[in-house]
Structure 1
Amino acid sequence: MTVLLVTGTSTGVGKTVITAALAAAARAGGRTVAVCKPAQTGVGGDYSDEADIDVVQRLSGVRGVELARYPEPLAPDVAARRSGRPMLELDAVVDTVRALDAAHDLVLVEGAGGVAVRLGAEGFTVLDIAGAVGASMLVVAGAELGTLNHSALTVAAVRAAGVTCAGLVIGSWPTEPSLAARVNLEELPLVTGVELIASVPGGAGALDEKEFGALARTIFGEFTDSLLG
């Protein structure tokens, strides 16, 4: 069984689409997949809004588990305090991931923001989840200027926590990439010391499930097959 945490260099870099693509690629390869989103912020509490876990299901056909939801678009621990709702507990996340892991070939856990974002009680982060369940981590990065610094800092934090970094992915590759974006394709592996696995075209999240699944398998099929053995 394999658990992979999907984190980002920041918010808005494409973690949810990448999580969906990994799920779709593994599913197309005949594997059983589960997705966990520990904490969702910035959506209504009546579950009428499309949350990240809904996007994953819409694109990949893989159902997911969401453990906590807060209405304000803030870091989960801050959003919990401001809403008066209970904070997420690390043990609850770990127990959920382990249960999913026992029943699936691959479990994908999508974080919130970056690796230092506090998800709940006592300030735990995705690094704490990874350490507790023995997971590796995939880092989703932006394409443009600034991503070298953000990516290097993120990978350094992952390594300092004793977590294996499975690689980098550019979450949204522009239709007309700038000079910085084009150069970053070569520079990202050099400054981080990890492989740049893929770049996903911007707008992929607007595809239907069939089109998205085919794209995901093309981009991530080799990676997910290798990850799962």
Structure 2
Amino acid sequence: MSRIRGLFVTGTDTGVGKTLITAALAAALRAEGRNVGVWKPVQSGASIGSGDTDAERLLRGSGIDERPESVAPFSFEAPLTPLLAARAAGIEISLEAIAAGGLPLMERYESLLIEGAGGVAVPLTHDALVIDWIAALGTPVLIVARSSLGTINHTLLTGFMLRQRGIEVAGVVLNDGPGPAAALEADDPSIAGNASLIEQYSGMRVLGRFPRISPDRALNAKELAKLTRTIDLSPIRQALNIDELR
């Protein structure tokens, strides 16, 4: 498929906050008047209509008026890696079919924030990992990683794998995760130095830290957009190729 105008959001693992940060970035860019959409090519772990799917969270957080089925054309209930979740549903997916599912979104939006499933080495189809899908799209990548202990190893490995494939990394966003913000760095002193060490050893830019949010707190698009003030959005705009759209 031909290169699309978009930015792929991947994680160093599952549960690192990709959906929250993708939604917040979309909300912030749309607040600037940019026609940015969201796309979750494959999701698993809940059924659409439950309110718990990544697509539904993306739409709530970004304020985009779309049907979740349009944002996530391939959705599976089983909490498994996409390959196994699809097989459990009796479906065999391919990169071509996934690409076709996103064509309507590509036509409606100037640029797309594309949220992956788990990390770059997650099996997506019978013969492709998520990184193969990224390479096929031809988009730059934003890495979402935990702020806490262990993130240096996971982030460096993710960046190394992407660069081996010649995939551009727009930057890294560290996520403080859910829970109370009080005494965060006192509880985990590694957080204070993780960003600088990631930059030192990888050459990748850490664009900022996303603050902790209580899991019981439901934020609207306006509130989420404000939280991106801790993130340098310039490389994200550049990766999305939307600077000239202002």
Give the structure-1-normalised TM-score.
0.89
Runs of 4+ in 1 over 6 A off after TM superposition: none
User: 2:156 corresponds to which residue?
Assistant: 152
Q: Deviations over 1:188-211 (max 9, x none)?
A: 111221000111111177323321
**1:84 aligned partner:** 89
Q: Which amino acid aligns with 1:48?
A: S
Q: Is the 8 A contact 2:210 2:230 kept in 1?
A: no
Change (3 A) 1:172 1:85: farther
Match of 2:170 in 1: 166
Match for residue 28 of structure 1? 31
Alpha carbons 1:28, 1:217 under 8 Å: kept:
no
Q: Which residue of 2 aligns with 1:112?
A: 117
Check the 8 A contact 2:170/2:235 in 1, yes or no: no
Distance (Å, rounded) in 2 between the aligned partners of 1:68 and 1:94? 11
Gapped regions of structure 1 (runs ≥ 5): none
Residue 210 of structure 2 corresponds to which residue in structure 1? 200
CA–CA separation in structure 2 for the residues paired with 1:221 and 1:193: 18
Letter in 1 for 2:75: R
CA distance in 1, matches of 2:147, 2:170: 18
How do 1:97-136 and structure 2 match up within 5 A?
A: 97-120=102-125, 122-136=126-140
- Gap change, CA 1:18 and 1:84, over 3 Å in 2: same
RMSD over equivalenced CA pairs, Å: 2.1
What TM-score results when the alignment is normalised by the length of structure 2?
Answer: 0.83
- Give distance in 2, aligned partners of 1:159 and 1:16: 23
Label 1:160 to 1:221 Cα distance change in 2 as closer, same or farther (>3 A). Answer: closer
- Shift of the alpha carbon at 1:92? 2.0
Cα distance in 1, alignment partners of residues 15 and 236 from structure 2 = 23
Residue among 217, 220, 223 paired with 1:211: 223
2:192 aligned partner: 182
List runs of 5+ in structure 2 lacking aligned partners.
none
Which range is displaced more, 212-221 or 108-117? Answer: 212-221
SS of the counterpart of 2:147?
A: coil
SS at match of 1:119: strand
In 2 relative to 1, CA 38–106 (structure 1 residues): closer, same or farther, beyond 3 Å? same
Between Structure 1 and Structure 2, the one with more strand by share is: 1
Conservation of the 8 A alpha-carbon contact between 2:63 and 2:220 = no
Aligned pair in 2 of structure 1 residues 71, 119: CA closer, same or farther (>3 Å)?
same
Between the aligned residues of both structures, percent identity stands at 37
